[in-house]
Amino acid sequence: MTFRKIFRKAKNTVYLYISQIIEKILYLVLLVFTSRYLGAAGLGQYASSFAIVGIFFIFVNGGFDNLLIREISIDKQKIEDWFLNLVILKCFLGCIVFLVILYLSNMAGAFDDIKGIVLILALAGLIGSMNQVFYCILVAYEKMKYIMIISIAANMVTVGLGVIFLISGKTLLYVAGSFFAGSVISFIFGAFFMLKAGINPVFKINFSAMPDFIKRNMPFLLASIFPIMLFKIDIILLKLFKGNEAVGLYRAAYSFLTNFEAFPGFFMMALYPKFSRLMARNKDLFVKVYKKSFFYLLLLNIFMLGGIFIFGKILILAVFGKGFMESVAILRYAAIAIFFLFQNMCNVYFLNAVNMPGLNAAVFCLGVVINLVLDLIFIPIYGCYGVLIAIGITYPMIFVMSGFIINKKILHGYARLS
């Protein structure tokens, strides 16, 4: 590989990292303004609405994006077969999801206070599912600079409008509208930059290919659906049993953990291509790199989450204020539990590299089921601390199961072959 290619790949990675970091900072700002102006109850409504919409839109976005990037990266001509077919398929699935959300919003009395917010966010999600097609095409063509510009522009519109609405004394319904505006901006910029990059998709429809798209997408969908559900289901059940304020206190604490997730995530994302290449060329070296990666990720997580545990009180009071004092204990206990999930990222990428995403899906599926059962037992009794009990059992269990599979089923097999 020439220096020019290496520089281009490094530059593309930097563009993605910059966009992700700016996005997390902006949404943390919006979260802070929401908590300051609407309190724990308002923050609870905010978090619950996103959790509900996020779960349903897994079925629209989950897997298709990874599949599209992979197929177009291998063969650019496939954009002719994929573009319009995938747009139509996502639009169809998105409309079904929106109608399901609309129906359930009229049925679930416990969520009446956020019905309007959820519907507006669902509309934003419908447009967002179309935006993901542009995003994936630009990734496949390695136009990450355009992705960074789109992300920053759309997120600044969303957060900027949201903050203005909050300062003006508007309700969360207006804040939800800012997400709709951001989705529209993202759609316009995405279409513009795709054409600017010289990518001219052929508007060809092949309905007979739709079942094949869905079939090929299933492993990717299953590998993505359960990890997302693991994060969202706690908030929905907490809202159902204990109301908005409990969700707000929990979400304030968890906001630091979701933002710090970027660091172990970026670390493993950077190593993933090397994992994949070594898996095909040199299994002994692949195993050594995996073990070293595991160790360095361990040091990173201990340093990062240890800091959160020690300085949790300072962080909560500085960002959210004295009204969220109860979030301090939640943050500290959650940091211990999520350590295992962050460390498990190394195992997740390892299993993907050896072409076993189904094992990731199986482990997280079992984790979701156990977490759901524990939530139903402990949340009605202990509220936020019931969630902490559930994740305190589930997250280490996921880590142990993944480690057992890798050590006994894969590494042991490599040792016999060497």
> Can you spell out the DSSP letters for 273-324?
HHHHHHHHH-HHHHHHHHHHHHHHHHHHHHHHHHHHHHTHHHHHHHHT-GGG
pLDDT of residue 352: 77
Contact criterion met (CB below 8 Å) for 95 and 126: yes
Distances (CA, A) of 12 to 15, 140, 143, 384: 5, 11, 8, 40
Q: Which tokens in the block code for residue 58? A: 């897994």
The pTM (predicted TM-score) of the whole model is 0.81
User: Rounded to the nearest 5°, which phi and psi values hold at 60?
Assistant: -95, -45
222 alpha-carbon distance from chain centroid: 14
User: Which residue type is seen at 335?
Assistant: A
pLDDT of residue 55: 82
Give the C-alpha separation, 371 to 389, whole Å: 9
Give the C-alpha separation, 314 to 57, whole Å: 35
Give the C-alpha separation, 378 to 292, whole Å: 38
pLDDT of residue 304: 92
Q: Give the start-to-end residue ranges of the domains of the chain.
A: 19-205, 246-418
Averaged pLDDT, groups of 10, the chain, 418 residues long: 48 74 89 92 92 81 64 64 73 81 71 88 87 78 83 94 96 94 93 82 66 70 76 89 93 87 76 69 80 90 93 92 92 94 89 78 90 95 95 95 85 57
Phi/psi-derived region of residue 411, left when phi > 0, alpha when psi is between -120 and 50, beta in every other case: alpha
